[in-house]
Amino acid sequence: MQRIALQLAIAAVAIGNATAQNYPARPIRLIVPFPPGGNIDITARAIAPGLTDLLGQTIVVDNRGGAGGIIGTDLVAKSTPDGYTLVLASSGTVTVAPSLYTKMPYDPVKDLSPITLLSYVPIVLVVNPNNPAKSVKDFIALAKSRPGKMIMASAGNGTTNQLAGELFQLETGAKFVHVPYKGAGPALIDLMGGQVEMLFDQLSASSNYIKIGKLRALVVAGEKRNAVIPDVPTMTESGLKNCDAGTFTALMGPAGLSRDIIVKLNTAGNKTLAMQTTRDRFAAVGADILGGTPANLDANLKQELAKWTRVAKAANIKIE
């Protein structure tokens, strides 16, 4: 019996190694846990062509929105670790939501395999062009004159959009009414339609609307001005020193992915980020390219998780 068990174990290892060597042998599903139109969807579609060329298999972008990105991310966390189901992870799904929700269906550190960082996009405060505020100082004054009456949209409960807005309220004393949407795309539509008054959004999702005048950007929550909207000041320039916020995106898979598959995907990811076409796509929406090793992503994830946990605790925010 022991001999048979040993032979079966050796055979399983051999099959696993062969699978990794032949990977990928069929199309790869890349789950975007938000509807089309937002920063995460834009990022996925920016890297999909390069990954398709390098891996020799089609990268199928599959939008699975809901619960602030939790549903789609959980789908990947519970999928078979064979490399054919990946997730376009982001700050909202792997650092912000876990810091806010009292119960999470997945642990971002234990239940997901880090592959590579992709990009970083600063948060920008955008309003409808009909809003009378022409600066963030005007906006704060307006909000304080109407406490609890101005509507703040977000991409969903537990998203970076929401926590950036909560941080802003904590630091400025403004009070908004939070209305969560099923993604940044629907929230942007209602903002442009005048149904809501503000959105703390990823610049990559809002930049085109800002350029054509359908949205007004009041302030960038980053360390420096962004080349896409160079005339828009930063939080620090506006006298708000503790309001910086942004979104990193990353390629991740379920826990248990083989080392060989992770290395293949990481190599393809970094090569895709180095392509001029990819760099142009990210530059057009104000995203900084990151890249790096799985270890870099793991360290960044843990650092950001600790940061947003501290912010959520300070703001006394918890979601059941």
Helices (H), 78-135: 91, 97-100
pLDDT for residue 19: 62
Cα distance between residue 185 and residue 205, in whole Å: 8
Under 8 Å between Cβ of 210 and 235 = no
> Could you give the residue range(s) of every CATH 3.40.190.10 domain in the chain?
122-220
Highest mean pLDDT among 52-61, 62-71, 243-252: 52-61
Q: What is the average pLDDT score of the chain?
A: 91
Average pLDDT estimate for 10-32: 74
Average pLDDT estimate for 83-105: 94
CATH architecture of 2-120+248-314: 3-Layer(aba) Sandwich (3.40)
Average pLDDT estimate for 7-23: 58
Q: 122-220: what CATH class? A: alpha beta
Q: Is the pTM above the cut of 0.75?
A: yes
The tally of CA atoms less than 13 A away on the side-chain side of residue 57 is 18
> Could you give the residue range(s) of every CATH 3.40.190.150 domain in the chain?
2-120+248-314
Per-residue pLDDT reduced to its tens digit, 252-286: 999 999 999 999 999 999 999 999 999 999 998 88
The tally of CA atoms less than 13 A away on the side-chain side of residue 277 is 10
Is residue 18's pLDDT more than 50? no
Per-residue pLDDT reduced to its tens digit, 107-124: 999 999 999 999 998 999
